[in-house]
Structure 1
Amino acid sequence: MISNRFRLNEVLVLLYRLFLAFFFYFIVRTLFYIYNGDLLNVDSFWQYLTLAYHGMTFDRIAIFYLSSLFILLSILPIYKTTTKGYQKLLFWTYIIPNLIGFSINFIDLIYYRFIYARTTIAVFDSLEHESNKGTLFFNFLINYWHVFLLCILCCIAWVYLYKRVKFTRPIRIEAKKPYWLTSIAIFVVVVVGFVAGVRGDLKKTTRPLNMIDANRYVTKPEHADIVLNTPFSVLRTIGKTSFKQLTVLDEATKDKYVSPVKQYTVNTPSTPNIVLFITESYGREYIGALNEDMNIEGYQSYTPFIDSLAKHSRIYPNAFANGYKSIHGMSSVVAGIPSFKDAFTSSPYPKQKIESLVSTLKSKGYDTSFFHGAPNGSMGFLGFGNILGYDHYYGKTEYNNDADFDGTWGIWDEPFFQYMKEVLSTKEGPFFATLFSVSSHEPFNIPAKYEGKFPVGTVPIHKTVGYTDYAFKRFFEESRKEPWFDNTIFIITADHTNQVAYDEYVKLVNRTAVPIIIYTADERLKGVDKRLAQQIDIYPTVLDLIGYDKPFRSWGRSLINDTITKPFVVNYVGSEYTYQEGNYICRFNGKEITGYFDINDKGLTNNLINEKNAEMQEIGLKCMAIVQDYFDRVVEKKLE
């Protein structure tokens, strides 16, 4: 037996095991950068190392939390800590939580390209409503096998290196008093170090570090995602919600700069049919008609039909999403309720009376329907649709033909678009129909009979964009034959963006760039409006178009006749609220304004905060006012 008076060897082994965790977190951070480097805009290897160094602060917090039981058992002042049985206990309390946490990092090697942020606990809210979780997991396993392989190899290497350093024989305690004194001292030092490690330091004035603190160490917002790690982001958001009232402005100032109630009296009341398409992942980047003035070298459009339709429509080539997930898109477009850090529908507050396109149009006698070709309840649409009050929900169940199931998400777009046309043709009208498409979604497959029909492009989504464009073409071809077509307003937008092929859309603000297109058969709405637009503008625009003559709750503005509200866009990008208006872009972290940028600086590269002028000051106040009013109304249940 090896003699030991002061437990030095045990401390060194503990440090070695913790070092392994930091080492493998550095490895997976490097893999995260390799997989997403085109989105992260790192200028040099030295800059990456600097970001990785700052990331150790957040790695430490995740590692300490996951290793808390292991650390405690390693420093207990008992004699048998080096025995074979006790060391096996330590192994499992170390390996199980750490490898689970470590493996979560690999999610963002792929998922980051879809949400442009580190994964949080909110991802499980999205998955909660999916009935085909096994199928989704299997498809991801097949499509991204290389990520799973890297994860497994890293885990094997970690276990191997852990076992390379171990106690081969128990340690004999020669002198109990020095051993106990040393043990108590080690226990106190480690506990104090642990508390400081998970908090950031021991100052009473310091709150525990959160995700937003990663922005302390960066000059580009996207660099915060390198500094962060996924288990930290998940752990820090468990049981947390961003839906808390803010008090950054007094009520008088807030009311001066935000107009949450609108009323339009330009158009005569009428009841045209409304067909609203929320197109899955259909970023503005893919649509040629919306990129004619972007001057993108080598640009290629993947939407020939929508491009042709745009020539007869009112189009908005400067429009943006108010969220970054599908459910964000539904609440933003249909109810004019944006989602910022977290989805409104995943907050504690969606179960309240909500004024929306559904409620206002129903008050005018409209039949209201929601179409989504996925299994009923997918994405939470059925539940939120019930809250909004849709009369009918048409999903995969109602379609009732699994021969057209894509094997992953739902019914292929082409047949499901035709199904909606057939259902609408049975209605007397007026009707309001919302269709949420599914096909332009990862894993980006198209029906076998159309293989080779659409351009493959440079990223996987391009061919599915072409397929959904074809679904639109077939829908409009067949709908033109129906008597309701000429009395219908068609609106095409997207829930969020997706894969990026051009540098212009890698820029942080442009990662939320979506289409807004309004078409009528008589072409009374036609032309290009280059002013800022956003998803939450669709709700007031529709009410303006039908001559809805009552006041209604809306943070957005009518894109047709609103001459009072200045065009603006508000969303949550790169871990901060982002507000565009006039000549500037403003950034707000929930407590203070952190930056002003030129309106054309979509990559947020040159912070002008030290050159603040009167226009910037006003834009900053508007940004804070709308965010504060948003949370006030959501939390106090004043959305009707």
Structure 2
Amino acid sequence: MFKDFRIQEYKVLFYRIFLAYVFYSISRLFFFLYNYKSLKVDSVAQYLDLNYHGLAFDTTAILYLNGLFILLSVLPFVINTKANFQKVLMWIYFICNGIGLAFNFLDFIYYRFTYSRTTIAFMDIVENESNKSSLFIRFIGTYWHVFALFFITLGLWIYLYRKVTVENKNYENKPKYFGYSILGLLIIATMAIGGIRGDFKKSTRPITMIDASRNVTQPQHADIVLNTPFAILRTIGKNSIKKLNLVTDAEINQYLKPIKHYTINPPTKPNIVVIITESYGREYLGAFNKDLKIENYKSYTPFLDSLAQSSMIYTNAYANGSKSIHGMSSVIAGVPSFRDAFTSSPYSKQKIESLVSCLNDLNYDTSFFHGAANGSMGFLGLSNILGYDHYYGRTEFNNDNEFDGSWGIWDEPFLQFMKQELDKKKGPFFSTIFTVSSHEPFLPPAKYASKFPKGDIPMHQVVGYTDYAFKKFFESAKKAPWFKNTIFIITADHCNQVYYPFYNQVVNRQAVPIMIYKPDGSLKGVNNDFAQQIDIYPTILDMIGYHKPFRSWGRSLFNEKEIAPFAFNFNGGLYQFMQGNYICLCDGKNVTAVYDKSDFGLEKNIISKVSKEDFVKLEKGAKSFLQDYMNRIVDKKMYTK
């Protein structure tokens, strides 16, 4: 009766899809092993539970990637069992699944830099790189073990695929063959639709990345539940920046006060230099860690540690994003990035109030320096949107003898180049430099191969090199007439390799330094309050006596009294709001967890123990930030004028 029902074909089809599940689970295990220090799983049982919850996300990714393969396998072509047709199916299967496997393997390495699964925003970063081929070749050399593991895994997958084959068969009763095939197609299509959605309930929306946090106790575990193909597929054409209606305008003004107006300091026009240091996490700077009692702690920044003695430093500061372009928009324009980068959103090309616009308004000469290829990282595009007068990149440096072979011009010569360009300016000037050397492949110039301590992780050696580059820059700058009338702000875009367990805790993975230095010695001290990158913009305007209203979600680190110190960023699929004695997580509409401010690992949810008054402050603060952020961006109200 069922000889024309194609049962053997369906069995082989299900076997092949089953193999995809097997290798997604293998990829998840490898992902965990490569990043186990960051992911912090307590037991085998806990890992297996996370893997189980990940099956729903694996199903969606597998069915998306194998849609064409499944369709061609079940359509009644009569020739489905022929050898040539099966060869075509095999090519389709492994091209699609090979791409998915490759993206999973990508995050074995990339995750340690972003602490999140790669999304479609990754393509925006790659698009802005002019030396893609050379970077790819170098990555193969640096992470050869990942590439080798990828091909071994793919080879095993191909071997197991070929172990079970479809028997060549002629179906004599064509009406039954077509009838049974249509029935099989309807059944499989129904299963596929439910699998892609993540649920067969009509009322349930398709699962998204945020659903990975439903069954985890720690935010970073959502990245184990997820897989990278799912994260990419679910963010294609998606934009999480959407208008919200969570609080009133009065509450936004009370808990956030997005329009700032400082009048305490008299108007002045000092020069301003903002240094955004590539990957320079707070962990590396001794001056920011001396009171933490980290066992066997070593600093790799002797110059910056000495400069900190004559500076105001903020030892509890955080990045507002996880990528370099996030750092630029946060520091210069006070615009953080969360699930989706603002700079990659449909709303990025609008008039944006920033340090650049405000200082241009005061007739400052504004310039941006980045030693990489012009346009790399999207900096040139954003600098044009913000309105910088000048952009200086690898092209303007015009000496590839100082090219590091990977990212750009070495920090030491490029900082000297910036100093020479600043010497030509009449002032006042506002200049920003984004360094490049403290980054993978973690090697200083050959002439300094043995000068800096190699430390405990590769990052330590290049941290030492960039610190030395800063030393040489300040030694030269001190001789310039503009130096004494300049405010220097030093921070980082995001963190990088972690060595000490304290900085491997979830919250501290976004811990960056903020240092403000005035050569006249009038500003020095240590501040342990919450601070963040987006505070730099209003702080500078407050310091120089900018007396006009301006839009800012951050706060001045000096004279702000109405809004308590706080930090806001995105972590593990949830928004993270830190203020007062607490750290709270928000899913975009509701506060889902609250932790003590010292619980950097987010291990003990105390939401039930928080007083109603404190909870309301946290809830209103988080919602006010989110709503004003989303609505201003969508409504294009990023300017007070």
Contact 1:4–1:171 under 8 Å retained in 2: no
Residue 615 of structure 1: SS of its match in structure 2?
helix
Distance 1:192 1:206 in 2: 15
Q: Which residue of 2 is the match for residue 562 of structure 1?
A: 560
AA aligned to 1:401 is: N
Match of 1:52 in 2: 51
> Which residue in the other structure is 1:423 paired with?
421
Choose the corresponding residue for 1:307, options 287, 305, 308. 305
Contact 2:220–2:571 (8 Å) recurs in 1:
no
3-state SS, counterpart of residue 5 of structure 2: coil
* C-alpha contact 1:58 1:227 (8 A) present in aligned 2: yes
Deviations 1:260-293 (A, max 9, x none): 0111112111111101100000000000000011
> 1:416-565 counterparts in 2 under 5 A?
416-565=414-563
Tell me which residue corresponds to 1:105. 104
CA distance in 2, matches of 1:303, 1:434: 21
One-letter identity of the residue aligned with 1:354: I
Contact 2:590/2:619 (<8 A) preserved? no
Query: Over the residues paired in the alignment, what is the CA RMSD in angstroms?
Result: 1.3
* TM-score (ref. length: structure 2): 0.98
Q: Give the deviation of 1:569 after TM superposition.
A: 0.4
**Cα distance between partner residues in 2 of 1:434 and 1:225:** 34
Post-superposition Cα deviations, 1:30-52, rounded to whole Å, max 9, x if no partner, equal 11011000000000112111111
Is the 8 Å Cα contact of residues 325 and 379 (structure 2) preserved in structure 1? yes
For 1:105, what is the secondary structure of its paired residue? helix
**Structure 1 contact 271–430 (Cα < 8 Å) conserved:** yes
**2:186 corresponds to which letter in structure 1?**
V
CA distance in 1, matches of 2:328, 2:97: 37
Gaps of 5+ in 1: none
Q: How far, CA to CA, are the matches of 2:388 and 2:176 in structure 1?
A: 74
- 2:227 aligns to what? 229
In the TM superposition, residue 411 of structure 1 has moved relative to its aligned partner by: 0.4
Aligned to 1:289: 287
Secondary structure (helix, strand or coil) at the match of 1:275 reads strand
Which whole-Å CA distance do the structure 2 matches of 1:200 and 1:377 have between them? 40
- The amino acid of 1:519's aligned partner reads Y
8 Å CA contact 1:328–1:339 kept in 2: the answer is yes
Q: Secondary structure at the match of 2:419?
A: helix
**Separation in structure 2 between the aligned mates of residue 492 and residue 268 of structure 1, nearest angstrom:** 24
**Structure 2 spans left out of the alignment, 5+ residues:** none
TM-aligned CA deviation for residue 128 of structure 1: 1.2
Q: Say if 1:577 and 1:589, in contact at 8 Å, map to a contact too.
A: yes
Equivalent position of 2:266 in the other structure: 268
Deviation at 1:178, TM superposition (A): 4.8
Residues in 1 aligned to 2:33 and 2:353: alpha-carbon distance in whole angstroms: 45
Look up the equivalent residue of 2:275 and give its one-letter code.
Answer: F
Counterpart contact for 1:358–1:368, Cα < 8 Å: yes
**Identity across the alignment (%):** 58
In structure 1, the partner of 2:576 is 578
| 1:426 alignment partner AA | K
Question: Secondary structure of 1:446's match?
Answer: coil
Residues 584, 616 of structure 1: 8 Å contact kept: no
Matching of residue 589 in structure 1 with residue 591 in structure 2: no
| Structure 2: distance between partners of 1:31 and 1:467 | 33
1:238 corresponds, among 236, 242, 251, to: 236
Q: Name the counterpart of 1:612.
A: 610
Q: Deviations over 1:161-187 (max 9, x none)?
A: 11111135x213354555444323322
- Identify the range of structure 1 (119-128 vs 87-96) with the bigger mean alpha-carbon deviation: 87-96
Supply the AA of the counterpart residue of 1:11: Y
Aligned ranges for residues 165-184 of structure 1 at < 5 Å?
165-168=164-167, 170-176=168-174, 178-184=176-182
Listed one character per residue, the Cα deviations across residues 595-623 of structure 1 (whole Å, up to 9, x for unaligned) are: 11111111111111222321122111110
What CA distance in whole angstroms lies between the structure 2 residues aligned with 1:141 and 1:97? Answer: 22
Name the counterpart of 1:161: 160
- Between the aligned partners of 1:79 and 1:381, the Cα distance in structure 2 is 55
CA contact (8 A) 1:326 1:495 kept: yes
Alignment coverage as a number of residue pairs = 637
Q: Supply the AA of the counterpart residue of 1:577.
A: Y
Give how far 1:372 is off.
0.5
Distance 1:639 1:265 in 2: 21
For 1:370, the equivalent position in structure 2 comes to 368
Distance in 2, matches of 1:270 and 1:183, equals 80
| Contact preservation (8 Å) 1:54, 1:217 | yes
* Per-residue deviation, 1:472: 0.5
Quote how far apart the aligned CAs of 1:70 are. Answer: 1.2
**SS of the residue 2:35 aligns to:** helix
Cα drift, residue 422 of structure 1: 0.9
Output the CA distance in 1 between the equivalents of 2:95 and 2:3.
Answer: 29
Q: Normalising by the residue count of structure 1, what TM-score does the alignment of the two structures yield?
A: 0.98
1:25 aligns with 2:1: no
Determine whether 1:10 maps to 2:23: no
CA distance in 2, matches of 1:300, 1:629: 41
Q: In structure 2, what residue type is equivalent to 1:505?
A: Y
Question: What secondary structure, in the 3-state scheme, does the structure 1 residue paired with 2:234 have?
Answer: helix
CA contact (8 A) 2:255 2:563 kept: no
Residue 353 of structure 1 corresponds to 351
SS of equivalent to 1:349: coil
- Match of 1:393, SS? strand
Query: Aligned match of 1:323 in 321, 324, 330?
Result: 321
- Of 318, 338, 346, 1:340 maps to 338
Counterparts of 1:591 and 1:181 in 2: how far apart (Å)? Answer: 49
State the partner residue of 1:148.
147
Give secondary structure in 2 for the equivalent of 1:204. Answer: coil
Distance 1:254 1:547, change over 3 A: closer
1:73 equivalenced with 2:80 (yes/no): no
Query: Matched residue of 1:624: which SS?
Result: helix
Structure 2 partner of 1:624: 623
Q: SS of the counterpart of 1:217?
A: coil
* Alpha-carbon distance in structure 1 between the residues aligned to 2:440 and 2:515: 24
Distance 1:570 1:248 in 2: 17
What is the one-letter code of the residue matched to 2:154?
A: C
Distance in 2 (CA, whole Å) between partners of 1:153 and 1:321 is 38
Which amino acid in 1 is paired with 2:546? Answer: Y
